[in-house]
Amino acid sequence: MAEEVPSSADDITRLLHERAAQLARRERGSDEATLLPHVAFQAAGQQFAVPLRYVVYASRLRHLTPIPGGPPYLLGICALAGHLVSVLDVAAFLDLRQRGLSDVACCLVVSYEGRELGLCAERLLGIEDVPAAAISPWQGGSSMIPQMATLPKLRLLLLDLPQLLSDPRLQEERQ
Amino acid sequence: MDELLREVIDIFVAEVREQADRISQALLTMEQQPSTIPTEIEELYRQAHSLKGSSASLGVEELSQLAHHLESVLLPVRRHRSSLTAEMVDLGLKALDAVKLRVVGLLADNEVGLAEVHRFAEQLEQLAQRNPLPDPTVGAQALADSSAAPDDLRSDDIGEPTFAGSSEAPDSVRVSIEKLAALIQHTDDLRRLRGQLERHQSEVTTMLRGLEKLLRTNAKNGDPDPKRTDEEIQHVVRGLRAMRRDLLDDIEGLQSTTGELDDGLRAIQLLPAALLSQPLHRAIREACRSTGKEATLVLRGEDVFLDRTLLEAIQTPLLHVVRNAVDHGIEDVAVREAIGKPAVGRISVTIEQRGSQVEITVEDDGRGLDVTRIREVAIKRGLLNATEAARLDEQESYQLLLRPGFSTKEETTTLSGRGVGLDVVNTTVRKLHGSLTLESTPGAGALFVISVPLTVAASRLLMLEEQDHTFALPLPAVARIALPRREELVQFGGQTVYYIDGQPHTVLRLSKLLGQTHSGDVPNRQPLLILRGASGVAIACDKLRGEAELVLRPLPIELRRFPLLSSVAIVPSGPALFVLSPQGLLRTVGSLRMAHDARSRRRTVLVADDSITTRSLLRSVLEGGGYRVRTASDGDEALRIARSEPIDLVVSDVRMPRLDGIGLLQRLRSDPRTSTLPLVLFSGANNDEDKQRGLAAGASAYLAKSDFERGQLVDVVTQLLQEAGS
């Protein structure tokens, strides 16, 4: 069948979007068996995961310096193996707390485009190879967690780190 | 060898070699690709100018002269983007080889290379004088490319200066082999300790396996041989005890080695800004000698420790700025005297750490920047037309000075006039991710502010504790520390005030500034900090923890919105500490005081007393209580002020010339404008007669000077004002 010839800029844009969507569907279909390594952790009763490629360090949290006058979702700063990071309580930040963060024991240092942030965790659950087929959209209403992964023993909320770091609450305030 | 040169010889030699290599490369590139002349010649000039400057400041005149003659030889190329001859390239390369040979001699403190440098400097000078004709073999294309350029700048040079080495921002420090060997020794120690820990881990595993096996056997079969079980457990316990001793030794070894490693690394990276002192002095002296002017250097902030890379990188641009200040800013002695300025000009260089930035301010008391002249030169050089130039404001006009090749100087001297200096400064500062700003007051001087981020810098910090949290404050920001006894803190109108040298200081708790509430008692010796620039305010904290010299790191992005925090101090093996921003604290103090003033509506008290001592004392006491104070030296003056200005209360002496306190009181009461104005009689004589006369005349209160207490006066004033207001 002959392809429709676009006649205007809008038509071209629509056509490009359709092609992109087709390509995306095709890629997803072929990659359903692909394993996407994530680091899973538990915080405030929720199980979260971030792609392994963003994780630069994970450690027990020994020293946490609280931020005077800081918001409740920023627990403090810590220096871990040369990484100086603010420690974010993801559940509080995203208003997803199921129960109080009882025992902040670990910190996951994540990095994106040269910027680093610490994610606090009660427990590190380990590295999980998430099959692409196990990923589905998450309807929790946060743009920072667009997807979830349902694994045999875990239900992981997949953090969109670039989206998280671009949140205005984590930006330098413009003077 | 000069003592200063000896101190920095390794760095200097490395820098000269790098400069010689870059210049050589630029010559070769231009020769091979004439189209690169417009960019490469700028890079070459910057390197040559830096070589000239750093050599001159260290007294290595032969290299400075050679670099100057090399610049002269290449001036036609730069001016006209043409005429790079093979002869220039040949001689230039040979001369640069001589430079590299000479630094070998400098390192060995002998004359190796000196004759060669002199010979090539002479040949370069002769070549420059011959003013060679354009060689058709090289540069023709570049000439064609830039034929439309009106002067020594092409229109496409305007704006972002291109810098061939921009990708080579300083990211390394130079370390002597000796120091490196010491560091490697420490890493060897660490490796040995790691081996020991691995051995312990292996031993623990063996013991654990033995125990587990024993437990499994016993669980399955009961304990068939309790004696053997006991022996095995005893064996493990002995092993663990021995291991504990070994581990304690290992921990001690680790502490010692990491401490030494830490010290070694810090020593490599950090240098005091005082190292800039001699080069700056020398640069100014040399500049004065060349120009016949007189100027002196005032250097502040020598005790600020800077990252070595930063210090190295900033030295050359800084020397450019001070030479520029002598050459362009400071007037000739005769001119200065004629216009009433001191004959000797003053150039102040101040190095300060402001949060995560280092700010270097160079201020001179010369003629300032001539905006008209800058605009004229910009028009002459074709950077702008007259209409565009007229539209520039002062700051935009100053920025023209930072463009490549821009110079308002008519003549070229060894100091300036080639339009390179400020260009180099600006480019270097930008490479360090910093900024350069210029200010000027015509006739009074110019101000250059270089602000660059601290990548790593150790700062002297005051460690303090408030509400169980430790904070650090840059020590230079603290003007004074006081430890008053509890009874020395006076309560005035809901505020605590402490008098230092007779001046009231309102005490504000650090926790309050941080937006938190403070719990706990005031200690008997309450630590108070008086910050520079904070008049009348003392900041209270729970404890002082002494001084420390720590490496600072910039705040993570998400914390830069907290104005009271400036950076983070890294404590070896400890928690990260927030370094408080003195500027942020001052701003918060200001807003808290404004809020307090607004609440207390800054009532004005008029003090009438013929004794200047009493007037000063009362002013101090009342201001300490948060009141604005007007003073009068007798009743007449007080009456005039009370009738013409908004006065809320009067404190008046009884015995005064012209019109005494009782007379003043009667006149005030008889005037409808002031009839209800509260008046406190403050008498030197504590007698009933005065008191009765005063109260009968309508005084609101009577206080005797002999019974004076600071708190009582403020309390009485506050109470009367509250009554008057209700």
DSSP A67-131: PTT--TTEEEEEEETTEEEEEE-HHHHTT--SS------EEEEEEETTEEEEEEESEEEEEEEEE
Q: Please name the helix (run of DSSP H) or strand (run of DSSP E) that holds residue B352, with its range, or none.
A: strand B345-354
Which A positions 134-163 lie with beta carbon below 8 A of chain B? none
Instruction: Report CA dihedral (B449, B453, B458, B463) to the nearest 10 degrees.
Output: 90
* Chain B residues with beta carbon closer than 8 angstroms to that of A117: 556, 558
Domain residues of chain B, as ranges? 3-147, 272-453, 458-596, 601-725
Of A70, A84, A171, the CB nearest to B568: A84
- pLDDT value at residue B154: 27
* A172/B575 CB distance under 8 A: no
- pLDDT value at residue B330: 92
Crossing angle (nearest 10°) for helices B421-431 and B308-324: 160
A105/chain B closest Cα distance in angstroms: 15
* A63/B574 CB distance under 8 A: yes
Of B557, B562, B575, the CB nearest to A67: B562
- pLDDT value at residue B526: 86
No. of H helices and E strands in chain A?
A: 3, 11
* Class of domain A36-170 (CATH, top level): mainly beta
Q: For chain B, which ranges sit under pLDDT 50? A: 133-171, 411-420
- CB atoms under 10 Å from CB of A53, counted, come to 14
Dist. CA B380–CA B684, nearest whole Å: 76
Chain A / chain B CB contacts < 8 angstroms: 68
Chain position carrying tokens 């923890």: B545
- One-letter amino acid identity for B534? A
Of A74, A77, A117, the CB nearest to B568: A77
Dist. CA B78–CA B562, nearest whole Å: 49
Give the mutation candidate from B558, B571, B581 for the A interface (greatest A CB count, under 10 A).
B558
Give the mutation candidate from A63, A65, A110, A164 for the B interface (greatest B CB count, under 10 A).
A65
DSSP state of B529: E
* Chain B residues with beta carbon closer than 8 angstroms to that of A84: 553, 556, 568, 570, 576
Of A65, A68, A169, the CB nearest to B516: A68
Interface contact A21, partner B, CB < 8 A: no
- pLDDT value at residue B706: 67
In contact, B354 and B368? CB cutoff 8 Å: no
Dist. CA A77–CA B558, nearest whole Å: 11
Dist. CA B39–CA B169, nearest whole Å: 18
* B561/A173 CB distance under 8 A: yes
Q: What fold, for B601-725?
A: Rossmann fold (3.40.50)
Domain residues of chain A, as ranges? 36-170
Crossing angle (nearest 10°) for helices B61-80 and B114-130: 30
ipTM: 0.78
* A65/B578 CB distance under 8 A: yes
* Chain B residues with beta carbon closer than 8 angstroms to that of A79: 568, 570, 575-576
- One-letter amino acid identity for B387? T
- pLDDT value at residue B168: 31
Superfamily of domain B458-596: CheA-289, Domain 4 (2.40.50.180)
Of A69, A78, A84, the CB nearest to B562: A69
* Chain B residues with beta carbon closer than 8 angstroms to that of A74: 558-559
pLDDT tens for residues A44-92?
888 999 998 888 888 888 788 989 888 889 999 988 776 789 999 988 8
In contact, B40 and B30? CB cutoff 8 Å: yes
Comparing alpha-carbon positions, the chain A residue that sits nearest to B552 is A84
A77/chain B closest Cα distance in angstroms: 7
Q: What fold, for B272-453?
A: Heat Shock Protein 90 (3.30.565)
What residues contact residue B473 under an 8 Å CB cut-off, 6+ apart? B461, B462, B464, B529, B579, B580, B582
Which A positions 116-135 lie with beta carbon below 8 A of chain B? 116-117
Residue (of B569, B517, B572, B523) closest to B543 by Cα position: B523
Average confidence score pLDDT of chain A: 79
A88/chain B closest Cα distance in angstroms: 10
DSSP structure string for B115-153: HHHHHHHHHHHHHHHH-PPPPTTSSHHHHHHTTT--SSS
* B576/A79 CB distance under 8 A: yes
Dist. CA B501–CA A135, nearest whole Å: 72
* B556/A84 CB distance under 8 A: yes
A121/chain B closest Cα distance in angstroms: 19
pLDDT tens for residues A121-151?
988 888 888 998 899 998 887 889 999 999 9
* Chain B residues with beta carbon closer than 8 angstroms to that of A172: 557-558, 560-561
* Chain B residues with beta carbon closer than 8 angstroms to that of A66: 469
DSSP state of B485: B
Comparing alpha-carbon positions, the chain B residue that sits nearest to A171 is B558
Give the mutation candidate from A59, A61, A84 for the B interface (greatest B CB count, under 10 A).
A84
Interface contact A16, partner B, CB < 8 A: no
* A69/B574 CB distance under 8 A: no
DSSP structure string for B569-631: EEPTTS-EEEEEPHHHHHHHHHHHHHHHHHHHTT-EEEEE-S-HHHHHHHHHHHHHTT-EEEE
pLDDT-based confidence at residue A156 (cuts at 50, 70, 90) = very high
Q: What fold, for B3-147?
A: Four Helix Bundle (Hemerythrin (Met), subunit A) (1.20.120)
Residue B17's Cα: distance from chain center in Å? 31
B683/chain A closest Cα distance in angstroms: 49
B575/chain A closest Cα distance in angstroms: 5
Cα Rg of chain B, angstroms: 37
Comparing alpha-carbon positions, the chain A residue that sits nearest to B563 is A173
The first and second tokens of residue A149, run together, are 């992964």
- pLDDT value at residue A35: 80
Provide the residue count of chain B. 726
B581/chain A closest Cα distance in angstroms: 13
